Structure 1
Amino acid sequence: MDIDSKETKSAQKKNFDFVDAIRCISMIGIVIEHCGIVPTNRYSTQLELTVETCIIQLFKFSTIAFFLIGGFLINHKFQEYTPLEYLKNRFKKTIKPWLFWIIVLMLLMTLDRYVAFMKGSDGGLMTSNFPLYLYTIAKQILLLSPYWFILNFLICITILLIFKKQLYNLWFGLILALLSLFYSVNLYNGWLETTHTTALFGFVFYLWLGVYFNRFYDQVMHIIKSTKWAILIILVLASFVFAVAESNHLNKIGISDAYNTLRFSNIIYSLVVFALLLKIGNLSWIRRNLHPRETTFGIYLIHVILIERFLPLIFQPLKLKVLEFNVWENTGILLFRFLVVYIISFYLTRLLSKTKAKWMVGN
């Protein structure tokens, strides 16, 4: 028992030299992706379309990297706790704050409708069938907003807990990998809708891969460290070009979800970038200044509220005709929106984490 405890502590110590950097960079990419304001594939020239695709693709590794690092972190907890104990801890740290911010967003959306009702421009939503309206916005938030990925993450964890005895079985991993690749093929065939909610089992593999990586940490890191920098950088650039080319092809053949995270090319790109981030390792300035261990989850929860309810207060009065702007102007707007959202989310999370309300951000 003492040996197991020492091994767990040793594994945890190893974790923190790179986890914080990957967690922080991935969250930056996720927030950038959600701050987009222009519908994709709307530019008239191939150059602008390609630039748009490159900008979108740059941080497209973030979601898969987040599942990988999530699996890496939960591996030792799977061994320490029973499934019931683990889920109980998850409720306190994850589900409780997640539900809180969903309710906050619902209340803000309802308040918006009430103000419209008082001004006579509600369209009857507040009076005709208010329970249906509440059900509609709850469904929209749960299934169509970024909050869906928290639920998806929890479902993925539950699946791994159910098959805990097969956790280190390569055949189990292969089955999960095939499930993920199914969604890559589905993009071209349209057997299922390509919204992220239909990809319910598409991300379990990356959580499992993170668990497997934790189990064989020393062996994996030996391979990563033995790989030359030039080779990894070339692989990143090649996979990036491949991913951009696939998105351009999907756009040309009329696929509406041309930037889907589970594209085959993006899976490769995400895994190669993850390997590069592992080789980079610890970025101490990120830990010192951005405190990803304490702020990452709070940023994710709060940034949704800011994008949905706060940014429109800034941009709607400006009446920007973004569809008439070029790709560079819209990229500038994207970066401005990101900076506003990320900075406010970061400082709100830091503020809440220093109070009794720290449970709201999972601390």
Structure 2
Amino acid sequence: MQEMNTVKEKKNFDFVDTIRCISMIGIVFEHSSAVATGIYSEPFDKFIEVGLIQSFKFSTIAFFLIGGFLINHKFQEYSAIQYLKNRVKNTIRPWLFWMTTFMLFTIVDRFVAHFRGSDVGLLTTNFPKYFLQLLNHTLFFTAYWFILNFLICIAILLIFKRLLYKVWFGGILACISLVYSINLYYGWFITLHSAALFGFIFYLWLGVYLNKYYDNVINFLNKTPWYLLLLFGIMSFGLSVAESFKLLSLGSGDAYNTLRISNILYSFIVFAILLKLGNISFLQNKLQPRKTTFGIYLLHYLIISRFLPLIFQPLKLDYEHFSVWVNSGILFIRFLITYSSSFLITFLILKTRLRWMVGQ
């Protein structure tokens, strides 16, 4: 996201860096898990696992909210063509670069496995078909999917630009999102995040609407006591944990889905808390989220999928027989390695002429 030009905009947008920094920490933390869902039999162990994951489950919805918040002015300042040109330069180009890099590392890894005697299937017998399967997997079943999803959501809002501030239009988008929430219980279609093509448009729209009425929203939050927001936050967290338990009991393989109704509520309340909290200068000064966030996102999945195995596979860790505390500790270690590595590489790239690789 580009820096705003006017003093008023800069003042209003300071809080965004805090939210995007915390949200990115949450996304990397969640993706750093190496433990399959539902491996614990004891209720207390399940509670620890679910609670740990749920803590940062607001992150994706928060990102779409601030994404919409930021693009509102851009929609007004630029024509659709101008806006899309900027997106190609600052978003699509680095996304394509790192997605291609991920695929190349994957192909090299599979060739190494082949030369060591492993059966790699189509890689050596039908490489074009293997490549297409890898492309499909990368586009729709990895973290890179959310960039494509985000761009599709923006394109849809651009198409319906004249309706951006119509409440009924937002209501339609909200209903579409709720279809994905209800589907978790009825299984009308697969629940993978790649199936939620239109499930996140509402939150992008809501961010646009929030930007338009920001003064009213922030005045309301300033009048709302902290204890009330925190109480609602705790209650919504408890509901989210309970819904995950319910989905686990139903045998769901997607019990932590972002579009659970309880998690939507939790995400809204956490977002309101962060909005009321405002700017945290320490995060801006040390982690520079405005410059580094996109690079961290693009890099973190590559590190998790291609480089963390080089560290952890030789250790032959038996996650299914470890306690929830040991696995939680491993999760924190994996997160620290992933986040710090992603941040350091992004920070170094920013000092070179290759900074376009991280959207700058």
Amino acid at match of 1:361: V
Partner of 1:183: 180
- Any idea what the Cα deviations from partners look like across 1:285-341, whole Å, max 9, x if unmatched? 000000000000000000011001000000000000011001110000000000000
Following the alignment from structure 1 to structure 2, what is the Cα–Cα distance between the partners of residues 123 and 217? 54
Do the aligned residues in 2 keep the contact of 1:113 with 1:122 (CA within 8 Å)?
A: no
Tell me, yes or no, if structure 1 residue 353 matches structure 2 residue 350.
yes
Partner of 2:258: 261
Partner of 1:234: 231
Following the alignment from structure 2 to structure 1, what is the Cα–Cα distance between the partners of residues 102 and 14? 35
- Any idea what the Cα deviations from partners look like across 1:158-183, whole Å, max 9, x if unmatched? 00000000000001000001111111
Query: Of the candidates 42, 45, 50, which is equivalent to residue 45 of structure 1?
Result: 42
Query: Of the candidates 95, 98, 103, which is equivalent to residue 100 of structure 2?
Result: 103
Deviation, structure 1 residue 270: 0.1
Partner of 2:293: 296
Task: Give secondary structure in 2 for the equivalent of 1:278.
Answer: helix
Partner of 1:320: 317
- Any idea what the Cα deviations from partners look like across 1:171-228, whole Å, max 9, x if unmatched? 1000001111111111111111100111111100000000001001100000011100
Query: Of the candidates 271, 279, 287, which is equivalent to residue 282 of structure 1?
Result: 279
Do the aligned residues in 2 keep the contact of 1:8 with 1:76 (CA within 8 Å)?
A: no
Deviation, structure 1 residue 254: 1.3
Deviation, structure 1 residue 124: 4.3
Amino acid at match of 1:167: L
Following the alignment from structure 1 to structure 2, what is the Cα–Cα distance between the partners of residues 82 and 290? 33
Partner of 1:339: 336
Partner of 1:207: 204
Deviation, structure 1 residue 255: 1.5
Following the alignment from structure 2 to structure 1, what is the Cα–Cα distance between the partners of residues 194 and 14? 33
Deviation, structure 1 residue 11: 4.7
Task: Give secondary structure in 2 for the equivalent of 1:261.
Answer: coil
Following the alignment from structure 1 to structure 2, what is the Cα–Cα distance between the partners of residues 124 and 190? 32
Tell me, yes or no, if structure 1 residue 310 matches structure 2 residue 286.
no
Tell me, yes or no, if structure 1 residue 330 matches structure 2 residue 330.
no
Deviation, structure 1 residue 114: 1.5
Tell me, yes or no, if structure 1 residue 272 matches structure 2 residue 272.
no
Tell me, yes or no, if structure 1 residue 172 matches structure 2 residue 169.
yes
Structure 1 portions without partners, runs of 5+? 1-6
Do the aligned residues in 1 keep the contact of 2:20 with 2:66 (CA within 8 Å)?
A: yes
Query: Of the candidates 69, 72, 81, which is equivalent to residue 69 of structure 2?
Result: 72
Partner of 2:32: 35
Do the aligned residues in 1 keep the contact of 2:54 with 2:237 (CA within 8 Å)?
A: yes
Tell me, yes or no, if structure 1 residue 126 matches structure 2 residue 130.
no
Aligned positions, number: 357
When normalised by structure 2's length, the TM-score is: 0.97
Structure 2 portions without partners, runs of 5+? none
Following the alignment from structure 1 to structure 2, what is the Cα–Cα distance between the partners of residues 210 and 119? 51
Deviation, structure 1 residue 115: 1.4
Do the aligned residues in 2 keep the contact of 1:114 with 1:122 (CA within 8 Å)?
A: no
Task: Give secondary structure in 1 for the equivalent of 2:315.
Answer: coil
Amino acid at match of 1:107: L
Partner of 1:23: 20
Task: Give secondary structure in 1 for the equivalent of 2:251.
Answer: coil
The farther-off stretch of 124-133 and 73-82 is: 124-133
Following the alignment from structure 2 to structure 1, what is the Cα–Cα distance between the partners of residues 188 and 87? 34
Alignment of 1:85-96 (within 5 A): 85-96=82-93
Do the aligned residues in 1 keep the contact of 2:110 with 2:120 (CA within 8 Å)?
A: no
Amino acid at match of 2:80: P
The farther-off stretch of 113-122 and 58-67 is: 113-122
Following the alignment from structure 1 to structure 2, what is the Cα–Cα distance between the partners of residues 326 and 116? 31
Identical counterparts, % of pairs: 59
Distance 1:71 1:117, change over 3 A: same
Distance 1:106 1:44, change over 3 A: same
Do the aligned residues in 2 keep the contact of 1:97 with 1:362 (CA within 8 Å)?
A: yes
Partner of 2:158: 161
Distance 1:11 1:206, change over 3 A: farther
